[in-house]
Structure 1
Amino acid sequence: MELIIKMVQYGKVADRWSGIYPRVRWRHNSINRRFLRPHEQERLRGAIYRYWTYNTIFHDQLFIHYDPDLPRSRDDPRLRLLRTYSTIELVQLTEFIDKMQQIVQVDLYPSNSMIRSQYLHPVPPKALANMGWGDGEAHKCLVLDLMKYSPSDFLYLYENTTTKAQRLEYFFMQGKDFMDAPATLRDSIAIVNLQRKTGLEIDTTIFDEDIEFGVVDYPDDARASDCEGHSWANDRCVTGREPQPGRTVWDDSESEDEF
């Protein structure tokens, strides 16, 4: 029964993000903003569930307490999980990650520089301290920590908090281990993509961009992208093991257990 309740809750969160997503996807180009089509909603839900799976297992306080670093072996469980997803599914997952990071950087935990850029006149120091979250490396580290939030965390913060104090309190509620370890999902995806040697650079960080094989149709028409027959739609590995053993282009170690 508990599992069923969780599944229902996850479904409600995913559906809510389907409604919010156009505001984030077409943040600046609002003239093109529209509702997601049914097959686009399905892609987004898939990306959210995959994000949630990784987040629940590997951004859990127990896991990050004992293994906060990036994967260091081919059999790392984080890589094995991601290998069960196709490259196209990883593209859509990366797009969702980037949109959540944009929400963090622009809406929830903006840097001082971001705050200043939104005003024509200088922002008084006291006002800046009440709105901004620092600059430079310190802010970058904060964002990486925050990217361990779950889709429900992001949703709660986006819809129910308006002040720095509220968001700071929510951050502290996550515990010490949460603050001391950056998110690893994006880097783990990059490792799997490199292992597959697709030559694909997954970069979805630009606002309002069109992304081939992404959540939203590319080019933007009313039909689902014809990608089911593409090799990147069928390169998942059900066991999670690296398909071709042996050293890879980024392997500078003689050990078979390390990269």
Structure 2
Amino acid sequence: MPASQLQTKTSAMAHNTSRSMYSPNAGVSRLLPSKSRRTQKLGLLDYPVLYPDTEFPYIDSPASIHVPVLGLAACPVEILLDISSHLDIDSIFNFSLACKILNGVFNKNKIMILLEVLSKEFSPFDELLQVYTAVAEDIKGRTYYQPRMVVFKRFPGDTGYTIGPQPGHIHHGANYSAASRPGISTVRKAAGVASSGVAVLAEDDLRPILRMCRLVRQWEQLFPQMRWFHHPEDCRALNEQELPRLRRAFYRWWLYGTYFHGEWTRPQAGHPMPFVLDVRTSQMRRHSTAELMELLDLHETMKDVILHYICPRLDPTYQLSYDPLPLMEQVSREHSLNAMWNDQSKWARIVKTYAKLGPEELMHYFENIYSYTRKRLITEIRLQRPTFNLDQESLQGVIRCVLEERQLVDDLPIVPEDCEGGILDFRGERDLQRIKYGRDGRADGTLPPGVPPVRQLSRYSPRGDDGEYLEEEMHSVFDVHGYTAMLQA
């Protein structure tokens, strides 16, 4: 072969080799069948092998398989689960939508991933699950309250992931009686103990639990606005110590309302009294005095929501009324907590009646109250709660009974004030006293040692008032002030 032809052929071969090396689809038709040119499985990897700057996924040659470049999707499942454990709930869902691989990892480990993040973001999460698993049988014919153990089944055949108090490990409070010592299970053993034993949850329960968590987040955002409603110049975000206090008080307020403020049959006909074997006071005895102050602080904030958003819809002239308004803004928080727990004035009855509304209902009316007329508001609540105006809220009275049993009614230095205390920090020496009064809860909800129970003879319970009869007073006030035409309009 002439030298010129040999040089030309060599140059052409070099050119073709160079093209094949840098071609995006080099070796695809040679190595893969025509139906498999876009994807290929490598052992246990069930996803396409992608190369940067290529149009299609491909495999070079069996002898020189390159390591696939897939970013986070190429990480082991253990690393992906560890990454998820450091994300918040919104970021986890966004992370799972990044690609099919991450979405598959999330779906296969959904319960484990969500339980870990929910336990951190919504602590104490076990108390929120007590609200979710509450049933009417928990309080029917009971005199003592005990929480149930919650078990999550993560997959078929799983023994379960336990959340909350376990048999022999009751931890709510510092004081124990013989009934709460190790060896006594939370499974119902006596007719006087309120506990359904064990509640088994599965993946289908995650959606309603997430809805509850979303509601908790809404109240976390609204609470500072209403807590400093009378002092907006001091309003601020809650710190890392205050947020868990808010959630803890919120869950307990929610649970108490579920049991004793809804349409379920009341376990006791009369108003709560101290030293009585009552499941209502038993539930509050489990909590320390410092935690009861947090609960009262939240309860007072909820009354402010009612006073400033629901009451004006019931009667636009309430500020012109000559009836004293002890719960309004001219009264300090401390005075309202100490002296107004048994107030039965007109507006006190109305506020205490609407204080039976749950967190979801209150949030709905807070966001949509201006679309409600007075008549529509009363009618809608009566349709949803036929026995709504038969009684008033009893939480504040129950807490006072527990304080009387502990002899702390008249001299308690950690009562919440207008801008500090309760859920908020005192920012002083009283924060140390909060620790002192944080250890007197009774884990089994019984009376203090050596205190005999008292039989409740009275069946008196203050009747509720939903504001139905305010219309007559509205007419008289409008006539006095010359607003008859406005009323007719």
Which bracket does the TM-score occupy, shorter chain normalised?
A: 0.7 to 0.9
The partner residue of 1:50 within 223, 240, 252 is 252
For residues 14 and 226 of structure 1, do their structure 2 counterparts lie closer, same or farther at Cα, with a shift above 3 Å needed?
farther
Per-residue deviation at 1:28?
Answer: 3.0
For residues 19 and 81 of structure 1, do their structure 2 counterparts lie closer, same or farther at Cα, with a shift above 3 Å needed?
same
2: CA distance between counterparts of 1:21 and 1:256?
38
Larger Rg: 2
Q: What corresponds to 2:385 in structure 1? A: 175
1: CA distance between counterparts of 2:357 and 2:368?
15
Per-residue deviation at 1:175?
Answer: 2.5
1:45-84 correspondence runs (5 A):
45-64=247-266, 67-72=268-273, 74-84=276-286
Instruction: Tell me if structure 2 keeps the 8 A contact 1:246–1:256.
Output: no
User: What do the CA deviations read for 1:182-219 (whole angstroms, capped 9, x no partner)?
Assistant: 11111000000111112328865x7xx1343x111112
For residues 7 and 202 of structure 1, do their structure 2 counterparts lie closer, same or farther at Cα, with a shift above 3 Å needed?
farther
2: CA distance between counterparts of 1:202 and 1:51?
19
Letter in 2 for 1:257: R
For residues 203 and 80 of structure 1, do their structure 2 counterparts lie closer, same or farther at Cα, with a shift above 3 Å needed?
same
Per-residue deviation at 1:91?
Answer: 0.2
2: CA distance between counterparts of 1:11 and 1:226?
31
Q: What corresponds to 2:110 in structure 1? A: none
Q: What corresponds to 1:121 in structure 2? A: none
Higher helix share: 1
Q: What corresponds to 2:238 in structure 1? A: 36
User: What do the CA deviations read for 1:55-104 (whole angstroms, capped 9, x no partner)?
Assistant: 1111231223x644312462100000000111111001001100111111
For residues 211 and 197 of structure 1, do their structure 2 counterparts lie closer, same or farther at Cα, with a shift above 3 Å needed?
farther
The partner residue of 1:237 within 423, 428, 442 is 442
SS of aligned partner of 1:245 = coil
User: What do the CA deviations read for 1:155-194 (whole angstroms, capped 9, x no partner)?
Assistant: 1111122133443233223333121111111100000011
Query: Which fold has the larger relative contact order, with Cα–Cα distance below 8 Å and residues 6 or more apart in sequence?
Result: 1
Structure 1: gaps (5+ residues): 118-135, 248-254
Q: What corresponds to 2:395 in structure 1? A: 185
CA RMSD across the alignment: 2.8
- Percent identity of paired positions between Structure 1 and Structure 2: 22
Letter in 1 for 2:386: K
Structure 2: gaps (5+ residues): 1-201, 322-343, 458-489
Q: What corresponds to 1:251 in structure 2? A: none
1:115-194 correspondence runs (5 A):
115-116=319-320, 137-162=345-370, 163-165=372-374, 166-194=376-404
2: CA distance between counterparts of 1:160 and 1:84?
36
User: What do the CA deviations read for 1:126-157 (whole angstroms, capped 9, x no partner)?
Assistant: xxxxxxxxxx8443322211111111111111
The partner residue of 2:406 within 196, 207, 211 is 196
1:257 corresponds to 2:455: yes
SS of aligned partner of 1:161 = helix
The partner residue of 2:419 within 210, 231, 238 is 210
SS of aligned partner of 1:62 = coil
Per-residue deviation at 1:226?
Answer: 4.7
2: CA distance between counterparts of 1:22 and 1:215?
11
Instruction: Tell me if structure 1 keeps the 8 A contact 2:289–2:437.
Output: yes
For residues 246 and 63 of structure 1, do their structure 2 counterparts lie closer, same or farther at Cα, with a shift above 3 Å needed?
same
Q: What corresponds to 2:151 in structure 1? A: none
2: CA distance between counterparts of 1:202 and 1:180?
34
2: CA distance between counterparts of 1:68 and 1:6?
32
2: CA distance between counterparts of 1:147 and 1:25?
16
Letter in 2 for 1:103: V
TM-score normalised to structure 2 length: 0.42
2: CA distance between counterparts of 1:145 and 1:80?
23
SS of aligned partner of 2:241 = helix
Q: What corresponds to 1:250 in structure 2? A: none
Instruction: Tell me if structure 2 keeps the 8 A contact 1:68–1:182.
Output: no
1: CA distance between counterparts of 2:413 and 2:208?
34
Q: What corresponds to 2:229 in structure 1? A: 27
Letter in 1 for 2:364: Y
For residues 4 and 85 of structure 1, do their structure 2 counterparts lie closer, same or farther at Cα, with a shift above 3 Å needed?
farther
For residues 183 and 40 of structure 1, do their structure 2 counterparts lie closer, same or farther at Cα, with a shift above 3 Å needed?
same
Letter in 1 for 2:245: R
Letter in 2 for 1:92: E
For residues 226 and 202 of structure 1, do their structure 2 counterparts lie closer, same or farther at Cα, with a shift above 3 Å needed?
closer
Q: What corresponds to 1:12 in structure 2? A: 214
For residues 243 and 152 of structure 1, do their structure 2 counterparts lie closer, same or farther at Cα, with a shift above 3 Å needed?
same
Per-residue deviation at 1:244?
Answer: 2.6
For residues 115 and 14 of structure 1, do their structure 2 counterparts lie closer, same or farther at Cα, with a shift above 3 Å needed?
same
Per-residue deviation at 1:112?
Answer: 5.2
